[in-house]
Structure 1
Amino acid sequence: MSGTEAVDPTVTRVALISQFFPPEPVPIPLGLTRCLRRQGFEVDVLTGVPNYPTGIVHPGYSHRRPVVDHVDGLRVLRTPLHPSHDRSAAGRATNYLSWATSSTLLGASLLRTADVALVYSSPATAATAALAARLRWGIPYVLMVMDLWPDSVFATGFLTRGLARRVAETTLSRFTDVAYRQAEHVTVPSPGLRETLVARGVPTEKVSVVYNWADEKLMQPTEPDPHLRNSLGLSPDDFVVLYGGNHGPAQDLGVAVAAMGRLRDLTDVHLVLVGDGVSKSALRTTTAQLGLRTVHFVDPVPPERMAAVMAAADIQLVCLADEPLFRITMPSKVQTILACGQPILSCAPGEAARAVADAGAGFTTAPGDPQRLAQTIRLAHATPRAQLRAMGQAGLDHYRLLMSEAANAQLLAELLAAAAAKGGSRPDRKRVRR
């Protein structure tokens, strides 16, 4: 489709900038678009060629050329990148930088017609296109800081020392400082992250906590998947600890596998790991070496099935490496589990553990400690299932009060409207269609 389409100048147009977007398994950016449209905004998406989480380009796409796609009724401009999502620092850096470059150079047709950009800043380099549009056309942007950069780059073992580390740290620190300074407003998903940004010089009044809410149409209390246990040879009486999500260094799932090695006497306790990622092969190898028949690997499932798969388990595992960075970040998995009314076993530091404790939604244990995790699994196993269900309900109540779309969408809408107003009216807007 080509040509131009006149646009109602009374409608605020938002360009969502996110390196990752469905069909990649990243529900938050898509959830943001749905929220904004319900708030009366018009939304377009600037994103990359889908290759997450494996680093392999999804079927039907090419990493060498831009394409205009349509997802969920949205116009989605995908620009090229170097596909990579492995433990290679060079590969990951090339992935991020190649998309930062292509989105800046090829995203102009989408960005210059927007009233305001909303940057889903994971990675931080996703802000490059918005920063360029701000400097070139005066288009304001709101920056959603999901990960603290440059800290998160090094938290999972990339560039741990030497000249490359020093150069990367200095460069990224300067870039993020500029991105914060040029943004009209900055949002963060946890109080701890807000405190950190303020300590680093971002004005207090410029930073707001906007929790990541779950996709509430999909992630809600539901009936258990009738096939999961049968497919794994598990009975209704078996106690199932389920983890669903990325299998990477940050998740430190080796701790959970090692904990299962300390629970051999509890033959009815099973760990089910649903998903994919760069650590999955090593986790399989460790499981085989330990001779564990109580650890099961399940391929990723579509988002529309995930709530039912979770409901087929007794408790949901949240696992993060014991890194200082993760003490101030809130993994979106916490909100997803709370929204589904499921009890949580948190083997994570900081904000994730605090949320579980504050909600009375389950159990917490120190990250990185297989022995203590095994002890906590024993405690959960000994807890009556009615009590576990009550914990799940307490978590759901907590979610609805503080973390739901209803509790956060209006704040985000007000921030975007205020940023767009500062950008001034643009009555000559035209949308270029391809």
Structure 2
Amino acid sequence: MSADLDRGGVDATRIALVTQWFPPEPTGIPLGIARSLENRDFAVDVLTGVPNYPTGVVPAGYRAHRRSVEDLDGLRVLRAPLYPSHDRSTVRRAANYLSWAASSTVVGRGLLRSADASLVYGSPITAATAAMAARMRWRTPYVLMVMDLWPDSVFATGFLTEGAGRRLAAAALGGLTDRVHRWADHITVPSPGLRRTLIERGIPADKVSVVYNWADEKVMQPAEPDPTFRARLGLGQDDFVVMYAGNLGAAQRLDVAVTAMEHLRDLPDVHLVLVGGGVERESLRERVKAGGLATVHFADQIAPERIAAAMAAAQLQLISLADEPLFHITLPGKVQAILASGQPALVCAPGDAARIVTGAEAGFAAPPGDPAALAAVIRQARSTPPDRLRDMGHAARRHYLAHMSEEINAQVLADLLTDAVRRRGDGRGRGRGRRRKP
């Protein structure tokens, strides 16, 4: 793992992508951002941590307490040491965040000094520490990508629910978050609801832009139905199939969908297929078995290259989330994936997901947490003519291409970075800190 971090080069804007998590960790969004910026003639270096997410275990070839440099298919990656942990311990999780915040500030100083601007993938918010230090010392501007709401999201996961520790943490994290936001040259958010929330909290509206997380467009695109998918589950070609593909977790409240199927016993041709794994899978299975629901089916996780064809074998794609305050401003990546695939959606979730799907005329919406209402919407969808469902799928694809695609959103991000560099106005000229693209 070695590469030269001081290569000089041609006249390209140099960006330091600062993110605590990066592949080989299962975090594809930062890598996709880096590649998209490279495709737009930026020279990108990555400042990240030693991989340990989500297990807290450092993979072979890395050491938690040692800096390393590697070349990832031409992308230079500097890894700063950290305390590896992703368990439920508040102390160990804080040590993970804070150790990387400190080490990245020290280890990354050369990379950040030579950058024209930093792009911070801001989850956790402590990931911005190195970029803030570079702004203070070298006036290097940074664009902050707010991926979730801090400090709210920390406490929503069950950490420090009460007591003096909660109050101290709220004050410290709230103060840090406010400063990170104030110092940023610009802020991007992945949903309109999150933008509204930041503006309500005092961020100027012209400082916050929506940049959607785009889907993996090589995989998520219109496809012909998998001819074997229904047969493997014992489904007929005339059955009406609602599919949920993704994490079967508590936040998804898929028990609502299972209960809705109990309200549809009079429609034996309506089926719910739950694809994937998660902590709630077994309890959902037990619920289905106890209720004698022959119309609810479980399928193992599907390989990415096959998921679009499997989705095309269903009439509707389900998006489900609990009716929690944070989910009102959260846009699950499933929305983009479904729209990119040209599939009609059924949203049983609060906030932006339902507004986007119904506004695009790309599907249906039911109030979250209400099985009877969800069942009624499924009845409505079943009675919808097939050609109308196909029109919804076409509308979904059009909306994705017009608003959520990589082409659209990566260009917005590129323009924001270019503006940040232009406004810097420190007279550094174009020679210092440039490098030849690999």
How does the TM-score come out when normalised to structure 2?
0.86
The answer to whether the aligner puts 1:147 opposite 2:148 as a matched pair is yes
Report the alpha carbon displacement of residue 362 of structure 1 after superposing the two structures with TM. 0.5
Aligned to 1:107: 108
Q: Are the aligned partners of 1:334 and 1:352 in contact in 2 as well (CA < 8 Å)?
A: yes
1:110-148 CA distances to partner (integer Å, 9 max, x unpaired)?
Answer: 433322111122232322232233234332210011211
The answer to whether the aligner puts 1:130 opposite 2:134 as a matched pair is no
Is the partner of 1:354 in helix, strand or coil? helix
- Distance 1:86-1:310 versus aligned 2 partners, 3 A rule: farther
- Distance 1:309-1:184 versus aligned 2 partners, 3 A rule: same
Cα distance in 2 for partners of 1:97, 1:249 equals: 28
Report the alpha carbon displacement of residue 196 of structure 1 after superposing the two structures with TM. 1.9
Report the alpha carbon displacement of residue 319 of structure 1 after superposing the two structures with TM. 1.5
Aligned to 1:217: 218
Cα distance in 2 for partners of 1:332, 1:164 equals: 33
Cα distance in 2 for partners of 1:157, 1:339 equals: 34
1:154-179 CA distances to partner (integer Å, 9 max, x unpaired)?
Answer: 33444333333322222221111011
Report the alpha carbon displacement of residue 10 of structure 1 after superposing the two structures with TM. 1.8
Q: Are the aligned partners of 2:348 and 2:368 in contact in 1 as well (CA < 8 Å)?
A: yes
The answer to whether the aligner puts 1:179 opposite 2:180 as a matched pair is yes
For 1:212-291, list aligned pairs within 5 A: 212-280=213-281, 282-284=283-285, 286-287=287-288, 290=291
Question: Which letter does structure 2 place at the counterpart of 1:111?
Answer: L
1:233-257 CA distances to partner (integer Å, 9 max, x unpaired)?
Answer: 4443333322233344433333333
1:2-32 CA distances to partner (integer Å, 9 max, x unpaired)?
Answer: 5565322521111222233334443432321
Q: Are the aligned partners of 1:54 and 1:277 in contact in 2 as well (CA < 8 Å)?
A: no
Aligned to 2:7: 6
Aligned to 2:48: 47
For 1:86-97, list aligned pairs within 5 A: 89=90, 92-97=93-98
Q: What is the total number of aligned residue pairs between the two structures?
A: 432
- Distance 1:249-1:48 versus aligned 2 partners, 3 A rule: farther
- Distance 1:94-1:333 versus aligned 2 partners, 3 A rule: farther
The answer to whether the aligner puts 1:405 opposite 2:406 as a matched pair is yes
- Distance 1:251-1:6 versus aligned 2 partners, 3 A rule: same
Aligned to 2:388: 387
Question: Which letter does structure 1 place at the counterpart of 2:312?
Answer: A
Aligned to 2:77: 76
| Superposition CA RMSD, Å | 3.1
Question: Which letter does structure 2 place at the counterpart of 1:123?
Answer: P
Aligned to 1:315: 316
How does the TM-score come out when normalised to structure 1?
0.86
Question: Which letter does structure 2 place at the counterpart of 1:142?
Answer: V
Question: Which letter does structure 2 place at the counterpart of 1:209?
Answer: V
Q: Are the aligned partners of 2:14 and 2:434 in contact in 1 as well (CA < 8 Å)?
A: no
Aligned to 1:336: 337
Q: Are the aligned partners of 1:155 and 1:323 in contact in 2 as well (CA < 8 Å)?
A: no
Q: Are the aligned partners of 2:3 and 2:69 in contact in 1 as well (CA < 8 Å)?
A: no
Question: Which letter does structure 2 place at the counterpart of 1:386?
Answer: D
Cα distance in 2 for partners of 1:192, 1:215 equals: 23
Q: Which deviates more from structure 2 when the two are superposed, residues 142-151 or residues 286-295?
A: 286-295
Aligned to 1:16: 17
Q: Which deviates more from structure 2 when the two are superposed, residues 359-368 or residues 383-392?
A: 383-392
Aligned to 1:36: 37
Q: Which deviates more from structure 2 when the two are superposed, residues 282-291 or residues 242-251?
A: 282-291
Structure of larger gyration radius? 2
Cα distance in 2 for partners of 1:104, 1:197 equals: 26
Cα distance in 2 for partners of 1:418, 1:190 equals: 22
Cα distance in 1 for partners of 2:261, 2:20 equals: 36
Q: Are the aligned partners of 2:15 and 2:44 in contact in 1 as well (CA < 8 Å)?
A: yes
Question: Which letter does structure 2 place at the counterpart of 1:119?
Answer: V
For 1:355-366, list aligned pairs within 5 A: 355-366=356-367
Is the partner of 2:114 in helix, strand or coil? coil
Report the alpha carbon displacement of residue 323 of structure 1 after superposing the two structures with TM. 1.7
Q: Are the aligned partners of 1:330 and 1:352 in contact in 2 as well (CA < 8 Å)?
A: yes
- Distance 1:351-1:31 versus aligned 2 partners, 3 A rule: same
Cα distance in 2 for partners of 1:121, 1:227 equals: 42
Q: Which deviates more from structure 2 when the two are superposed, residues 117-126 or residues 80-89?
A: 80-89
Q: Are the aligned partners of 2:318 and 2:345 in contact in 1 as well (CA < 8 Å)?
A: yes
Q: Are the aligned partners of 2:105 and 2:133 in contact in 1 as well (CA < 8 Å)?
A: yes
Is the partner of 1:6 in helix, strand or coil? coil
- Distance 1:71-1:8 versus aligned 2 partners, 3 A rule: closer
Q: Are the aligned partners of 2:11 and 2:434 in contact in 1 as well (CA < 8 Å)?
A: no
Aligned with residue 433 of structure 2, among 414, 429, 432: 429
Question: Which letter does structure 1 place at the counterpart of 2:29?
Answer: I
- Distance 1:164-1:17 versus aligned 2 partners, 3 A rule: same
Is the partner of 1:43 in helix, strand or coil? strand
Is the partner of 2:271 in helix, strand or coil? strand
- Distance 1:307-1:106 versus aligned 2 partners, 3 A rule: farther
Gaps of 5+ in 1: none
